Chain A
Amino acid sequence: MADYAAIERKAHTLRVIGKTVTYILLTFWALMVLFPFYWMVLSSVKTYSSYNGEYIPSFFTLTPTFQNYIDAFTTVDLGKYFLNTLIFTLATTAIMLVVIILAAFAFARLDFPGRSAAFALFLSLMMIPNELVIITNFVTITNWGLRNTFTGLILPSVTSVFYIYLLKENFGQIPEELYKAAKVDGTGDMKYLLKVMVPICRPTIITVVILKVIECWNSYVWPRLITDNPAYYLVSNGIQEIRENGFGRENIPAMMAAVVVISVPLIILFLIFRKKIMEGVSRGGTKG
């Protein structure tokens, strides 16, 4: 009998040790994730002279300054980059939504010859990596004289075969009877789409919007190819520009202030819509 009690006690001790180790490891990685954020905020509120005066950087500062933030907006055109990114993100997402909703509806509900062949063709396009087509797109946009315009920035990224697929699957789950009932009642296709399908599939649409917004906000490659006029820089390009020519290479506090300003909107968005975003990403997101 004592034997079992001993086994039980040992198992309990092992459990406690296991839990402790788990928490230590989890906390370790949490610190690894958080530390760069802490460091960027910390560096951004140190004065230029104190930052460069610290051979051994201190882990806090008693005299925070906001001068770096003022510098970030005045020395380089951070406000402009911000506005550009906002316009780019909103416009791309809005146009894309229209395009993919119409296409998904056509595939899910409308009956037309060649539908399944067209859908198969669409699906096969999902395999094509962006890197392959970006070369010609660059040449096309250049030839059309659309470099350094919002049109040029937006055009190639307003369709996504994957999102059409995601939405079509979701539309397909709505019982066809609803569509037939609407037809019998004399509801037009467009009205049905907007009044019935879109509201029912709102969660998926929100997912798509979230993923697209994150993608737009962080996009770097295409904007870099297509803009060399700082008036059309997005934040990513702005950051790169700041790094290479901005405040003078050594003004790291001002650089960090810019980094904070750029990172904050998405982090706030994430903290507000945490559940939705994580759900959305696990349903249909990859990074890259």
Chain B
Amino acid sequence: MDDVPASFPRGEDGFVDWDKVDVESVELPADEIKRAGLDQPVKVELEEAKEDTGFASVIVVDNLPQIPEAKFGKLLNVLTKIFTQIGEIREGGMLMPQDEATKTSLGYAFVEFANEQQAQSAVEQTDGYKLDKTHIFKVCKFDDFEKYQKVPDEYVAPPPKPFAPRENTQAWMMDQRGRDQFVCRFGDETQIFWNDPQTKKGEDVYTRTHWTESYVQWSPKGSFLATVHRQGVALWGGDSFGRIAKYGHNGVQFIEFSPCERFLATGSTHDPTTADGVTSVLVNFFDTRSGAKLRTFMGPISDFIAQGQQGLRWPVFKWSGQSSDESGCFFAKMGTGMISVYAAPEMTLVDKKSIKVDGVVDFCWSPTDPILATFQPEQGLGNQPARLSLISLPSKKEVRSKNLLCTGSIVGVNMYWQASGDYFGAKVLRTTKSGKTTYSGFELFRLREPNCPMEVVELANKAEKIVAFAWEPKGHRFAVIHGDGARPDVSFYSMKDKQGNNNCTLIGTVKNKTANHLFWSPNGRVVILAGLKTMNGQFEFFDVETMETMASVEHFMATDVEWDPTGRFVTTAVTSVHQMENGYHMWTFNGKLLYKYGKDRFFQFLWRPRAKSLLTAEQEADIEKNIKKYSKRFEEIDEKIRNEADSNVASEKRATAEKWKKWVESKKAVRDTPIYKQALDELLGDQAKAKLDFVETTVIEEEILSIVEEPLS
């Protein structure tokens, strides 16, 4: 009650008479407005209020032929036929007005459906329906008619918005010491740190409580941090981490940036509103810069999954790899027997039709090129073999395809692109003819060679279970964990033989490793053989160049492993799936522990990605060659910081010790005063004296028991 302003009219009982309060006049305190973010115009889409006009289930069909009375019944029958396919037309719900004088129809009709949903789907399905060459239906809802009427006939250009400078969203990459940032989410806090290997701690950059309602995500080049809320998605960036944009999408669950950061897809599923309804899916596409909604895909869940697919799998739309910023990019969705590829920023279906891929169950894009890999399982009871295809966009030409043959059947296929898009591999699990045992093989494609030559690689013992497979980023190697026991083996292969020819060769196998996951450094060469989950968090830092283990460490119960974008550091984290020991450990690439960080209810750890290097390959090679020259400057800075930190710690320690000593002395001074001593003696009484009488003495007594002489032998 105390919060109610005095200006409000109060009733006789002293309480506010809410009926008399003019709600419009109530103003929130300015700081409250700011805190709630209401000072900026909110662009949240409200669900359109369902007006109870009674016309919600009525649609208007325009652009019908104008026909004489003789043909009137015929047209009506045609229309009835069309619209009863969509929904139930109410009795007498079909009205086609006629000119009273000539009895010719006026070229439009009203149709009333049993409910609003049917009317809505009728609009969606029949708008643009071609009755014949000249008569293409224009269908809209009756309630919308007024809205469309208000559209002015002449286009008036909106006034250009004044230019507002935006903070540099890539400022963090200009850190003088070349450090990287990461974001942590724990409890209600979201915090961004610098990883500071010299002072061995995460240096705080920005903290905010209740920043996100579900999770956070960096954009692929690290320019923005996206927070996900009930009403939509917000992007934050720049040095101050101010809000850069927001996108309304009620109940958003999933977000996916295009690799060029120009577009953002947001997706959600919505439970049916009626008992017999179906779950619907909504996917919105936004332009990240302007915040404009570019396209919306909405429909029942069945539209978003292919036949035979188990449930909805995010991302429904997958973005193609990025080749250059300017050319835009593609995104694709899998449907029954087809893959629909759309082009951004036009947001239209490429060539206006989907690519037909019979029975497709899985697809993925090359991370660097507009090339799609698809997998079709066996069809027609084995008459059509399972098939892998690589399809290039926008030509939709099949670059390479491969029928997977086997005597038994194919149980599963997993597809893996190498991070630079040079290679594509598929792990194929087949059964023998009897169907009792399974064996695995790898189909490997070389994308950079003409016609994408292909090779099949099998393990020495192909019946062994494949635990994990991973390509070396920026390299030509891959690693496989295989074995059925608790301590599987790890094999390394190269796509080149020793002479540098294109022959897939085994580099070596290391036996008995506690590992079930592979994490390559983004730079390649180093791979972490990780034993997560049942293996309790064992990590082995392995150098593939020398085939040597650099370090074996443990982070008990670790659930996550994240390499920093430069491949210099790696973190292992225990997230809140476990109760105890939540937090992360920071390691160098060679397995040296830098520091630990513990926080209860630790949810997320994400390194901030870096934008692509502006250096050319030659420049990079030059730096690698003259690394000593370039690293000198950084080493000097590091040394200085370390020294400073050391001396800071020492002086801080001295001060702390000094402070404590002072405190102890002040207490002692009080206790040494005669008054205090006397009071204490009185309390202790006889015991005080007893304590004084208590004397401890140590007496050492030595006694010679006997002396025996022994001859030296």
Chains A and B belong together in one complex? no
